[in-house]
Chain A
Amino acid sequence: MPLIIIVGAIVGALSVLLVLAGNPANMGVCVACFLRDIAGGLGFHRAGVVQYLRPEIAGFVLGAFGIAVSKKEFKVTGGSSPVIRFVLGMFVMIGALVFLGCPLRMVLRLAAGDLNALVGLVGFAAGILVGIQFLKRGFSLGRSHAQEKVNGYILPIMAAVLLLFLAIRPAFIFFSQSGPGAAAAPVLVALAAGLIVGVLAQRSRLCMVGGIRDAMLIKDYYLLSGFVSIFVVALIGNLIFGQFNLGFEGQPIAHNDGLWNFLGMLLAGWGSVLLGGCPLRQLILSGEGNLDSVITVFGLLAGAAVAHNFGLASSAAGVTANGKVAVLIGFVVMAAVGALSRPVILGKSQRVEKSVTA
């Protein structure tokens, strides 16, 4: 059985267990929500109900870092369009916060019966299809090159510092007293889960956007099988523990504005294809020394801060007007980046043959 199916099963199971241990409903793991919570904990935004230094994120980075170093796969590279990546990261986060979930949470919500996530999934797939069209017409963020090793240690060190802050609770770090930010599994449980996922995701190359992208682009189902495995195991877990509730209405930390669930995830999917990986994958690559992914993570954080400061993020009450405008702006930005970032890589046009599928 391919490693990724086992990894998907473990990720699905851990996600269900994290909710039982105290994480918000249908949010055992959500890279977008958790980075947003960290942005809140650091004071980058002041939305009181979503401020908490989620240890799962530190776990993903440190787990990936540790296993990469031990397998001699830690390699510090960077320099391929960092500013574009930062901005794309911001818009991927904005899209995710309009839908209320990263691609992984989308799957977990679906596995809990939240049919709004099905709408999101269709939007996500549509966004990936759009991103693929740009890839086939020569879009690229260019080449990265080896960088000084010390650069690659910085994010893992920051992750460790976040854990330290979580432990000592300095006065300048925010902790939600209510709302999703106050719903959290015990620190050591969340950290352990994060480390395990970090290691497994690094070994298996788990990536939610790659799953659909590869199926569409090259008819390769390796990554998709991991995606499906997460869904199946989380579904079984939710049924066993009574966390399954089928429908569109009254779903936890979700809204049922179908159009914007679709468009929000379209933006997230499109941007993730341009970035070369979903938010979880960006964290894992960051741990491996990929500085372009580190910049993307910074962009995701900045996007989360902006989303709450500018009133872009959705809530159970629905989507905001500012959020809709931001998603539309995001489409324009991604189209512009996709059309304009076309470096000539091999000394000739990068037009890909029509025989590459989709």
Chain B
Amino acid sequence: MQCAEWLRIHAYFDGEGDVIGAGNIERHLERCAECSALLEDLNNVRTALRLDLTFASIPSALRARIMRSLDEESGVKSTRLSWVGRNTWRPRPFWQCALSGGGGAAIAASIAFFLLAPRLSNPMLDELVSAHVRSLMPDHLIDVVSTDQHTVKPWFAGHADVSPEVADFAPQGYRLIGGRADYFDHQRAAVVVYQHGSHLINVFSWAATKDRLPQGTTRNGYHLAFWKVGNLAYCAVSDTAWDELLGLQRLLQNLGVHEIGSH
């Protein structure tokens, strides 16, 4: 037999206390072993779901198609790249405005990349470059906007499977601008976003496997630098110069070594 309160336990679990009277339910839970077991069970299933379910973002090509159809609908003369040009005056978050005037051009370039680029041979490089380019699309770069490492790092706890090194290196020219979770290599990778001059650098991090990381390489104009600290694999991706990318890598590596040493 099922306890008659089972439905109300679900509602209580979903934070719908005002619908059902949370106080009564809590008193009931103290007495009813069946319902407290149900509540625990609901918690376990939710935890498993959060780990298991995919949280997709809309593919950028589809987003572009939708923007074009909105253009046509609102009577904007539509040429193939017209919506790209309008990016220069579409409302957007401060970080995009903060970038140099080449923003529109960068986005145009990234679309050209999607249209023209052949599939890269190593799937990991493929995924990383694709994720980097995707992040340059409007509204895709940052989930948590902050220049404060103490805001960005805890944010990852609920949104990614790993907790990477985060620090603001503004004095060294690498300004922390935020973080993002990205699905990569079958896990929710943490991505820390830095700005260096007019360039953006995405630093991906994920739980390292036994496989060796690829060598640093350049794909379609984007440099990819790989390194490991402890059991975390990192990859910095950017169109900035190699030396500058490696500069950030050194800063982050030193940070990791320092932290491991101090604990």
Co-assembled chains A and B:
no
Interface on A for B, CB 8 Å cutoff?
Answer: none
* B interface list, Cβ under 8 A from A: none
